[in-house]
């Protein structure tokens, strides 16, 4: 009795030998009775379907030819790849859109030159700019800039995926894949915090779920709400690790005729009513390291308006922390219960804060031989994408294409269907791509005219690697 032979899969550079009934290292291709098949279905999108969609056979004998919705789009999800692209992309589909003859080139692109940009809505200190971000102890990225209520991380990239030790590459790839597919990933930041990140969900910083991002810096908060406080309190300090605001000194207070109070802030004064570095960043009030806001106050000056009985409100930029004081005879703030009349203004700060979320953008450079699967003259595709003549989407979701050389794009992973991203164990990520342009322009680029199929042709004949099709509603509206 002879043992069935393994066959070699050429869908990616790993070139696995796959035994009958088994899958390759990526779990995306299998040996089915001596032929390579794609294990995941091709995903077709439609705006006209009800939520939940339906299953439609692809390249199957029992497909009865029923028409698809007129807005059906073939995505790269489950399409397979022809990398390295010495041959046409898996599917090159002709269609008619509003009377215009169009072509969509569909593929799953293999990315070593890729990563994710993570936006975390929080004032909490995550770590110093440039600090290493780790998953399972391995370096997978770094902290970048803070952007007005949000902290940014840059994760992945070719140096972490392939430039370090094998463990670093494997962990980086696994973390990127999980983030892109909407799963939670636990990260630690050198000299900083432990953060749980999941696209579209609130971040968890050192075990604490972040509920809201700040309404603005301390100065901006003063500007928005100064008139809410007038007549109810004599001084307001909005504590913020970036710019702490003081209403009596602030331009907004001066416009309202707010009298001086003799307050002293222990920080670096910028413009009137705005103070930098009142504290180190941390997990306390307004993203500072303090838990007692009185720590940022110096002696009150009676010659400049301080007096016994002066009412002081201190509040954070989210309204989560607040305290009310009255100066005693020694001009020392004494804690008191906040008056009912002041609570609506504190709640208004809270109400104007947006929910804290994690945003994950996949970013990749679609260069190299990938373009040869689209056209025989690859640079023409680059120029066409840059000129917006070719529309680039990822799993049907709109992409932002960076200016400059190459096809460098970003896409919000929450706009793609679930499970849209895959991997190969080189290690590298696999992301769906679709290039759509008028048929005449496609042919002018040097496109693979002989490989163009209609949707019914595709359903009947399949691609290089037979699979199935799945039709689901379009999540992101087409433009």
Higher-scoring residue by pLDDT: 181, 212: 181
Q: How confident is the model at residue 59, as a pLDDT?
A: 34
Q: How confident is the model at residue 428, as a pLDDT?
A: 92
216-242 mean pLDDT? 93
Closest CA to 358 of 187, 121, 171: 121
Residue 182: pLDDT over 70: yes
**Residues, the chain:** 479
Closest CA to 200 of 479, 470, 423, 475: 475
23-52 mean pLDDT? 73
**Cβ neighbours, 10 Å, residue 50:** 8
Structure-token pair, residue 364 = 């990749």
DSSP 140-209: EEEEEEE-SSEEEEEEE-HHHHHSS-HHHHHHHHHHHHHHHTT--EEEEETTS-EEEE-BTS--EETTEE
**What is the rounded distance in angstroms from the CA atom of residue 427 to the CA atom of residue 162?**
7
Residue 366: pLDDT over 70: yes
Closest CA to 165 of 187, 198, 137, 202: 137
Are 349 and 318 contacting, i.e. CB atoms less than 8 angstroms apart?
Answer: yes
* 140-169 burial: b if 16+ Cβ within 10 Å, else e: bbbbbebeebbbbbbbbbbebbbeeeeebb
Higher-scoring residue by pLDDT: 117, 285: 117
Residue 154: pLDDT over 90: yes
Query: Which neighbouring-strand residues pair with 288?
Result: 281
115-121 mean pLDDT? 97
Q: How confident is the model at residue 148, as a pLDDT?
A: 85
Q: How confident is the model at residue 417, as a pLDDT?
A: 87
> What is the DSSP pairing of strand 42-46 with strand 469-473?
parallel
First to last CA, the chain: 59
Q: How confident is the model at residue 464, as a pLDDT?
A: 57
Confidence of residue 44 (pLDDT cuts 50, 70, 90): confident
Following CA atoms 289, 291, 294, 295 in sequence, which dihedral angle do they give, to the nearest 10 degrees?
Answer: -40
- Helix %, strand %, coil % of the chain (to 5): 20, 35, 45
Q: How confident is the model at residue 58, as a pLDDT?
A: 36
Residue 18: pLDDT over 60: yes
Q: How confident is the model at residue 69, as a pLDDT?
A: 67
- Per-residue model confidence as pLDDT tens digits over 438-479: 999 999 999 999 999 888 777 666 655 555 545 555 554 433
Q: How confident is the model at residue 68, as a pLDDT?
A: 66
Residue 343: pLDDT over 50: yes
SS3 at position 229: helix
CA distances from 421 to 138, 158, 245, 358, 433 (A): 22, 17, 45, 18, 11
Structure-token pair, residue 236 = 């307001």
Query: Which neighbouring-strand residues pair with 334?
Result: 326
* 403-437 burial: b if 16+ Cβ within 10 Å, else e: eeebbbbbbbbbbbbeebbbbbebbbbbbbbbbbb
- Per-residue model confidence as pLDDT tens digits over 86-114: 788 888 999 877 778 999 999 989 999 99
Q: How confident is the model at residue 56, as a pLDDT?
A: 39
| Whole-number percent of the chain with pLDDT over 90 | 62
* 342-371 burial: b if 16+ Cβ within 10 Å, else e: beebbeebbebbeebbbbbbbbbbbbbebb
67: which DSSP letter?
A: P
Q: How confident is the model at residue 42, as a pLDDT?
A: 76
DSSP 321-344: SEEEEEE-TTS-EEEEPPPTTTHH
Structure-token pair, residue 429 = 């990520």
Residue 280: pLDDT over 90: no
What's the mean pLDDT when you consider all of the chain? 87
- Listed in order, strand segments (DSSP E) in 329-479 are 333-336, 358-365, 391-394, 397-398, 400-401, 408-412, 422-424, 428-438, 452-454, 469-473
Q: How confident is the model at residue 253, as a pLDDT?
A: 95
| Whole-number percent of the chain with pLDDT over 70 | 89
Query: Which neighbouring-strand residues pair with 367?
Result: none
Backbone torsions φ then ψ of 419, nearest 5 degrees: 70, 25
SS3 at position 15: coil
Q: How confident is the model at residue 2, as a pLDDT?
A: 46
Chain centre to alpha carbon of residue 313: 37
* 265-284 burial: b if 16+ Cβ within 10 Å, else e: bebeeeeebbbeebbebbbb
Higher-scoring residue by pLDDT: 177, 282: 177
201-225 mean pLDDT? 92
Higher-scoring residue by pLDDT: 249, 68: 249
Are 38 and 91 contacting, i.e. CB atoms less than 8 angstroms apart?
Answer: no
Residue 50: pLDDT over 60: no
Q: How confident is the model at residue 472, as a pLDDT?
A: 53
Higher-scoring residue by pLDDT: 283, 190: 190
Q: How confident is the model at residue 324, as a pLDDT?
A: 98
**What is the rounded distance in angstroms from the CA atom of residue 420 to the CA atom of residue 470?**
12
Q: How confident is the model at residue 430, as a pLDDT?
A: 93
Which residue in this structure is represented by tokens 């010495």?
86
pTM (predicted TM-score): 0.84
- Per-residue model confidence as pLDDT tens digits over 298-330: 999 999 999 999 999 999 999 989 999 999 999
Q: How confident is the model at residue 39, as a pLDDT?
A: 75
SS3 at position 105: strand
Residue 72: pLDDT over 60: yes
Are 124 and 110 contacting, i.e. CB atoms less than 8 angstroms apart?
Answer: no
Q: How confident is the model at residue 16, as a pLDDT?
A: 85
Residue 351: pLDDT over 70: yes
Give the highest mean pLDDT range of 80-94, 277-291, 293-307: 293-307
Backbone torsions φ then ψ of 172, nearest 5 degrees: -60, -45
- Per-residue model confidence as pLDDT tens digits over 184-212: 999 999 999 999 999 999 999 999 999 88
205-232 mean pLDDT? 92
Confidence of residue 411 (pLDDT cuts 50, 70, 90): very high
Higher-scoring residue by pLDDT: 53, 10: 10
């Amino acid at each position: 009795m002879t043992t069935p032979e393994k066959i070699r899969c050429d869908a990616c550079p790993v070139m696995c030998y796959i035994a009958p009934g088994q899958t390759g290292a990526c779990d995306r291709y299998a040996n089915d009775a001596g032929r390579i098949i794609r294990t995941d279905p091709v995903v077709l999108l439609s705006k006209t379907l009800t939520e939940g969609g339906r299953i439609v056979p692809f390249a199957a004998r029992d497909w009865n030819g029923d028409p698809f919705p007129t807005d059906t789009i073939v995505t790269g999800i489950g399409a397979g790849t022809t990398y390295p692209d010495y041959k046409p992309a898996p599917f090159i589909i002709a269609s008619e859109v509003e009377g215009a003859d169009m072509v969509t080139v569909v593929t799953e692109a293999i990315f070593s030159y890729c990563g994710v940009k993570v936006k975390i809505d929080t004032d909490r200190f995550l770590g110093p700019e440039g600090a290493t971000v780790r998953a399972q102890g391995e370096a997978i990225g770094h902290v970048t800039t803070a952007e007005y209520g949000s902290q940014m991380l840059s994760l992945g990239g070719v140096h972490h995926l392939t430039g370090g030790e094998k463990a670093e590459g494997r962990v980086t790839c696994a973390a990127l894949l999980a983030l892109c597919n909407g799963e939670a990933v636990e990260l630690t930041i050198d000299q900083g915090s432990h953060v749980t990140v999941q696209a579209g969900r609130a971040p968890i910083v050192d075990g604490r779920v972040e509920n809201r991002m700040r309404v603005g810096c301390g100065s901006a908060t003063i500007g928005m709400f100064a008139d809410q406080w007038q007549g109810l309190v004599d001084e307001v300090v909005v504590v913020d690790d970036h710019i702490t605001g003081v209403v009596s000194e602030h331009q907004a207070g001066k416009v309202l005729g707010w009298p001086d109070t003799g307050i002293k802030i222990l920080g670096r004064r910028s413009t009137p009513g705005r103070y930098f570095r009142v504290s180190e960043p941390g997990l306390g009030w307004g993203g500072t390291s303090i838990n007692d806001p009185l720590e940022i106050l110096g002696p009150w000056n009676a010659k400049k308006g301080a007096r016994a009985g002066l009412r002081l409100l201190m509040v954070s930029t989210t309204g989560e922390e607040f305290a009310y004081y009255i100066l005693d005879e020694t001009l020392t703030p004494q804690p008191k219960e906040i008056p009912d009349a002041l609570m609506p203004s504190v709640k208004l700060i809270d109400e104007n804060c947006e929910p804290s979320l994690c945003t994950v953008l996949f970013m990749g450079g679609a260069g190299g031989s990938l373009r040869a699967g689209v056209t025989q003259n690859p640079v023409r595709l680059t120029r066409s994408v840059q000129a917006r003549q070719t529309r680039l989407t990822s799993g049907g979701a709109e992409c932002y294409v960076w200016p400059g050389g190459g096809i460098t794009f970003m896409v919000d992973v929450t706009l793609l269907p679930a499970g849209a991203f895959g991997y190969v164990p080189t290690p590298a990520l696999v992301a769906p791509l679709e290039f759509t342009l008028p048929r005449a322009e496609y042919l002018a680029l040097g496109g693979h005219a002989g490989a163009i199929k209609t949707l019914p042709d595709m359903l009947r004949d399949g691609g290089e690697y037979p699979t199935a099709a799945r039709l689901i509603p379009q999540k992101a509206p087409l433009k």
